[in-house]
Chains A and B, each alone.
Chain A
Amino acid sequence: MFCSAIRNILRNSQNAAFTSQIRNLRGEQSTKHEISVLASPSTSIKADDKKKEPAEHEGSNKVALDFGNREAHVPSFNLAAYVNNSSTLQQLISLGVDLHSIERRKGLGDFVLKLDFEKNVKPFITFLVDQGISPDDFGRMFTKNPLLFKEDLDDLQTRVDYLKSKRFSAEARQRIFTHNPYWLMFSTRRVDRRLGYFQKEFKLSGHDLRLLATREPNAITYNMEHLRKSVFTLKEEMGFNAKELSALVVRKPRLLMISPDDLVERFSYVHQDMGLPHTQIVQCPELLASREFRLRERHEFLKLLGRAQYDPQKDLYISPKTIVEGNNFYFIRNVAKSDLETFDLFLKTR
């Protein structure tokens, strides 16, 4: 759906020359108050044949447009009030950008309102398309980070080239940009410093570092203070050694973004109540990524059934990985081999 929208927009851009002509005719009207009629693709094409007598039509246009202009002067708390009068906002909506969530963040509403689609947005779309990003993701990306339009295109190209020079594959770059729209905002120097920090802190090889960055691009650009705290928690409070830590982080980089308090709570449950050693936790870091109550429910249910046996050397071994996998129904059927009613009754005694 969005693909076709993009195609429409790009097709319209071929009429750009004509559009600018009309805009000149309507000279004194500012772009912000530009009528919606002009923006919609169908009308601009239709209007094409009437180019011969523009002066006459211009007059009728102005009369019709008076409504829109008057509305736009009313001060508003949200972008929705301007949507009918601004072609840029309309194009953004057709891209799937959520204006509602943009306007809730400070200053971004003003910024988006002042954008001009042809001038500020389109070059970036072409740039992103060149990077191989699917148009379906544009809406989500621009919603997350509309400030991308503020950046210089040459800078962005440099940042992409930097990743290329670090031998990130095309797919990896694509994944990084779609999953973390803020990545492109970071200067090359800063990204380099971050990657350096990760490589040094966890003693990663180049391949592992690329794997980590691709798996969870958000971890690289995350709040540095928080990252340091998480590393401290993992290393000092939980006592993973350097080798285990790097394995853990590469397998589940998301652990670095979880709040340290939660992490310690989960770890203490897994380590003390479920009795799993560090080596086994490193084997399945999903345990630490799952919420504590979920672990608790499932482990205690298994214990009640007498199936909580996590030692691979013995019979009736249950892999800790399967505990956190899937929804409750899957867990009860395939891991606990019980039924949902029993599980519900069990939960109602907690």
Chain B
Amino acid sequence: MNWTWFHRLGSPPSFYRFAGRLAPWLGGFGLLLLAYGWYAGLVLAPPDYQQKDAFRIIYVHVPAAAVSLSLYVLMAVAGAVALIWRMKLAEAVMVATAPVGASFTALALVTGMLWGKPMWGAYWVWDARLTSELVLLFLYCGVIGLHAAFDDARAGARACALLAIVGLVNVPIVHFSVEWWNSLHQGSTVLKFGRPAISADMARPLYAGLLATYCLCAHAILRRAQNELLLRERNTRWVRELATELGGGARVS
């Protein structure tokens, strides 16, 4: 197999250009798909027979919860690559993923509370699913804080990578918590074997919202990784050339 594309993509200037070309498409497609998903979820989908209109919170809660776990895995894998091969791009991706993942973990928790109050009668219970998702948020915040605490970005990245990898044990705990422990939280609707436990006109907006959220997260991570590379490579020729090329600074978007 020919690996030159991989090595080329791993070099910061090539990745910077690649991300710059890909990100607008992901952002535009993600926004369109999200608009459809929210419209279909709020307007077209029929009310649930038990939860009535309150079930519509699923269209923001489930995509947020799904990316909160996926992005953690991405962050830990990028951390492992950064730790083993000392790859700058992997460090940038790891650092870029943390705030995006943290924001969606917080969103999953808050929308879960807003869903829990009318359905369970309480905003919060110290249940396995809720507690482990809260630990996930703390892990993200730990990586962000640790990165900010180091003056040397490369030494900071090594510490962050270790924390991210150790925290990976929490991911299966979050995912399987509803099966391992008695929980108020319902079981999986989408990610399970056999037929999904949801009718098609309710499922379509959910799948659209899921795909949209993954695209928009990818967009945000690419943009943030670009920023990280600019900072890390600030003294190299390609960044200097880019900065002078963009000239006005404040005027570029």
A joins B in a complex = no
Tell me the A residues contacting B by CB distance below 8 Å: none
Chain B interface residues (CB < 8 Å from chain A) = none
